[in-house]
Chains A and B, each alone.
Chain A
């Protein structure tokens, strides 16, 4: 059984056929990297898993997306409940203009959690997991916008995991960070793997090779190749994959 699965998934932005029949399964507690040139559909595909594409007008979808074998686009799925099970981290760190504490507590606040000790503990746990606690434990009341870019991104990860999702989606989480902050995020992904199933979109192939167990290469809306990361980077079966990872295009 896969944690996440898509079956013959097609997606259209108006007349544009953006995803062309993608079928793949993602194992639980693994890190899966999506690579491919810009516009290949990898981010769009990622956003199908937490139904963020619902927010874009003129999007049409065919096929199935399953979480724990249940169709997430089924009529009786509550999209808000579904999104609480799947955390998302975006390309650009987007902390709320609130305190560090309130950022992490946000997910609990929206489900109506009132117990102060409970929230305190959840905030601390999430910040520890996101490897940020030691840097911010004395400044929890300060604005999150005063943090550095790398800290902000780890805060966003803390915010996402504070509600204990089972899956973390990351859309190029380190693309606007310096190398040192990037390393911290990658280390974090490695440690988070034991508690979460992680899917990461990245433009950086070394990053994909470093952090992921499996890698999927997308090109022009199609899933070209999907295999264990070692295999895909050392011995790809498709020529397009070979060309892309050796830097001949993209």
Chain B
């Protein structure tokens, strides 16, 4: 089944930015692109989560894995469906906020 984003034509833009600096041994900031989920239709987000082995709860509020809410360990809170960030490697799912982003970058910078 294909998901369609009718009515979202105006926001159907892949937003990417180039990042600089050390990301990790395998994946440097220079290579990693960011895809902004802002403005994407719910169906698209759900399809993306399912493709990554994740899902959203029945109320559509929190990201889940195996039926359980995914917790952002950097702030000890469940990740919100409307505010999620997903990083490659071990498919790390975070709440998209400056503290979690800074914590993630700091931790993964230590790998190199």
Physical interaction between A and B: no
List chain B positions with a Cβ less than 8 A from chain A: none
List chain A positions with a Cβ less than 8 A from chain B: none
